[in-house]
């Protein structure tokens, strides 16, 4: 399902180019046990798209042959891909850092028993969505009952050593605003999260990553229906910060869709704005074999202002 929202022109965002390739962010499947309001992928329980064995074989070839350092697994719920554990183990055997973009409720989903233990055994870094530390706000954005199951998931991970002082098991939380606003300052919000979660539930974690909502897919449609789309785009453009340009995730990351096609970021993937490698209009994983991406131009549109607005935004949180 590709985005058809009336995004603004692509003339005002500055031109940028790649510095190389450090991270492969792979969208394994659009299947998810949740259906969140802010989801830019439109993932959900009825989506069936998933990476095939043939594409996975090419992914392994790229991992084995390329100087990729990080495999960032996303979805949907990436754990719902039938070969998720095999993918993780292959990457870890090759010495890659693996990040699991986890929605936390998958840890208690029937049929996924032992998933948390597997992540700990493989030393997978967990990046977990938790849009607030209060029940009402989380359930409003992500569905009834999600907050309680998310807390249970975090407690399960803590018991395994995730987020604990001195532990190698990294647990980071991800915050998205509920409406058409920029995230608050990351450091202050992180302090609030740590205080409330520790006091109320005994939960600890490493870092909070604040991410600006992209005006695309499900969130973009909501903005259009409420007549807020143009105002939100104006907010993003007016909040542009040149200081964030050097740290944009697209400079060192390639986004891979479930069919193996390449994009400069996950958001471009949802907008069907393919990355060009070897002067091809639509490049595939196999094109990364032997390719050098330094100075490769990055495809931009006005939605890119979401990554440079205010303190900046990336899959690793604020930039500035």
Q: What is the pLDDT along the chain (320 residues), one digit of tens a residue?
A: 444 555 445 558 899 999 989 999 999 999 998 766 556 667 788 899 999 999 999 999 999 987 899 999 998 899 999 999 999 999 999 999 999 999 999 999 999 999 999 999 999 999 998 877 767 666 666 566 788 999 999 999 999 999 999 999 999 999 888 789 998 888 999 999 999 999 999 999 999 998 898 888 778 888 999 999 999 999 999 999 999 998 899 999 999 999 999 999 988 998 899 998 877 788 999 999 888 899 999 999 988 999 998 776 555 555 55
Helix (H) or strand (E) holding 189: helix 186-201
Q: What does each C-alpha distance from 287 to 58, 157, 256 come to in angstroms?
A: 10, 38, 12
Which burial class, exposed, middle or buried, applies to 178 when counting CB atoms under 10 A from its CB (0-12, 13-18, 19+)?
middle
d(CA 143, CA 166): 34
Rounded distance between C-alpha atoms, residue 306 and residue 60, angstroms: 32
Element (H, E) at 235: helix 229-238
Is position 153 within any domain? yes
Beta bridge partners of residue 208, listed in sequence order: 173
Distance of alpha carbon 230 from alpha carbon 222, whole angstroms: 12
Neighbours of 128 (CB within 10 A): 22
Exposed, middle or buried by CB within 10 Å (0-12, 13-18, 19+), for 29?
buried
- Token readout for 178 is 């509920």
| Position 120 in a domain | yes
- Asked if residue 320 belongs to a domain, the reply is no
| pTM, to two decimals | 0.89
pLDDT at 286: 92
Per the listing, tokens 């100087």 go with 67
Cβ burial 155-173 (10 Å sphere, 16+ → b, else e): ebbbebebbbeeeebbbbb
- How far apart CA 110 and CA 117 sit, in angstroms, is 15
What's the Cα-to-Cα distance from 236 to each of 98, 180, 230, 241, 243, rounded to whole Å? 31, 10, 10, 10, 15
User: Which residues form the domain of 97?
Assistant: 23-308
Show Cβ contacts of residue 197 under 8 Å, excluding neighbours closer than 6 positions: 133, 154, 203, 204, 205
Per-residue pLDDT, 219: 83
Domain assignment of residue 6, yes or no: no
Domain membership flag for residue 39: yes
**CA 197 to CA 151: how far, in whole Å?**
9
Q: Is residue 75 part of a domain?
A: yes
Can you name the residues that pair with 174 across neighbouring β-strands? Answer: 129, 209
Q: H-type helices in the chain, by residue range?
A: 53-65, 84-93, 115-121, 135-142, 146-159, 186-201, 217-225, 229-238, 266-270, 305-308
Element at 100 (helix H, strand E) = strand 97-102
Q: Is residue 253 part of a domain?
A: yes
Q: What is the rounded end-to-end Cα distance, in angstroms, of the chain?
A: 33
Give residues with Cβ within 8 angstroms of 84, minimum separation 6. Answer: 28, 73, 78
Quickly list H helices, 67-122: 84-93, 115-121
User: What CATH number is attached to the domain comprising 135?
Assistant: 3.20.20.70
The number of domains in the chain is: 1
Domain membership flag for residue 204: yes
Token reading at 298: 């990055």
Q: Which pLDDT value is given to residue 253?
A: 95
- Rounded Cα distance between 24 and 46, Å, is 26
């Amino acid at each position: 399902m590709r985005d058809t929202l009336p995004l603004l022109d692509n003339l005002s965002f500055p031109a940028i180019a790649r510095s190389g390739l450090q991270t492969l962010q792979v969208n394994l499947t659009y299947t998810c046990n949740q259906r969140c309001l802010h989801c830019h992928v439109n993932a959900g329980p009825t989506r069936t798209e998933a990476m095939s064995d043939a594409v996975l074989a090419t992914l392994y070839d790229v991992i084995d042959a390329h100087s990729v350092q990080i495999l960032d697994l996303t979805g949907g719920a990436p754990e719902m891909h039938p070969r998720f554990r095999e993918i993780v183990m292959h990457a870890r055997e090759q010495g890659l850092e693996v990040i699991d973009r986890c929605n936390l409720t998958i840890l208690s989903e029937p049929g996924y028993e032992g998933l948390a233990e597997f992540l700990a055994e493989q030393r997978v870094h967990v990046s977990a969505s938790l849009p607030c530390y209060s029940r009402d706000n989380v359930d409003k954005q992500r569905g009834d009952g999600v907050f309680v199951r998310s807390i249970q998931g975090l407690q399960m991970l803590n018991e395994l050593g995730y987020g604990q002082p001195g532990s190698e098991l990294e647990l980071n939380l991800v915050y998205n605003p509920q409406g058409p606003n920029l995230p608050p300052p990351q450091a202050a919000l992180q302090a609030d999260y740590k205080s409330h979660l520790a006091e109320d539930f005994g939960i600890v974690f490493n870092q909070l990553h604040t991410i600006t909502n992209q005006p695309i897919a499900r969130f973009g449609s909501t903005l259009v229906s409420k007549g807020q789309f143009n105002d939100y785009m104006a907010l993003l453009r007016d909040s542009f910060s040149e200081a964030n340009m050097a740290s944009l995730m697209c400079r060192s990351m390639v986004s891979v869709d479930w069919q193996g096609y390449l994009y400069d970021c996950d958001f471009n993937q949802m907008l069907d704005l393919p990355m060009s490698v070897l002067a091809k209009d639509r490049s595939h994983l196999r094109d990364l074999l032997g390719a050098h991406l330094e100075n490769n131009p990055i495809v931009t549109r006005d939605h890119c202002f979401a990554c440079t607005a205010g303190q900046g935004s990336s899959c690793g949180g604020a930039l500035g």
